[in-house]
Structure 1
């Protein structure tokens, strides 16, 4: 499935509902602010690990995080870790750009996010087309006709999982 077709198909399952009474805006603001702060820490870690830049490590607030003097090995593939850290940082930047309605920045940061996603996909031999088509198939199993609140709440997880087998 091509990206343009995915963008058409995903709209069929877009939720036309919103329940602002369920969450106080102050709480949502705190969550978004904390996400932004944690993303800066994640970016500092990524810069230190992959760009040999430790200038932002003070953001971690933990001196022990700055150095690995015993050269303790990491238990995860370095490219997968790079993808994880990169996506976390870029997701926060996309969030900030979206809240500011800055289209150019959304495109910019989304491209960066896609780069990290492509890195993760490369490590697992996944294509964007595979993800697009399987996601739409899963959503079609969840919402055979269109989005309904009932189907969103009472999902048939077995039917959805069959798409990935």
Structure 2
């Protein structure tokens, strides 16, 4: 499955763009699901002493799926293609690596 295929599939379960506050709903949903991933890791540190063999990979995969859904639907709301976003991101990172600034700071490096 490519990313645009996923995006089209995700949209089958998305609310209409016309729904009141849908853009805000998508942004807050993305932040919330990202926070749920952080929460899984917090509990892993607290309860499992950061033992990687006890990491809840299945639970994290579910939350990553939710993040992916929100990214896909938010991108569509903004008329952006996931394939295009992914390709641009890889090109940006490759450029930073080639210039030796991959681990630097700032957006415009």
TM over 0.5: yes
TM-score with structure 2 setting the length: 0.61
Runs of 4+ in 1 over 3 A off after TM superposition: none
Partner of 2:83: 129
TM-score with structure 1 setting the length: 0.42
Whether 2:47 is the aligned partner of 1:96: answer no
Q: Distance in 2 between matches of 1:151 and 1:109?
A: 27
Deviation at 1:122?
A: 1.1
For these two proteins, the number of residue pairs brought into alignment is: 82
Partner of 1:79: 22
Structure possessing the higher relative contact order (Cα contacts under 8 Å, 6 or more residues apart):
2
> Runs of 5+ in structure 1 lacking a partner?
4-76, 161-165
Secondary structure (helix, strand or coil) at the match of 2:87 reads helix
Q: Looking at CA atoms only, which structure, 1 or 2, has the larger radius of gyration? A: 1
Deviation at 1:155?
A: 6.8
Distance 1:120-1:153 versus aligned 2 partners, 3 A rule: same
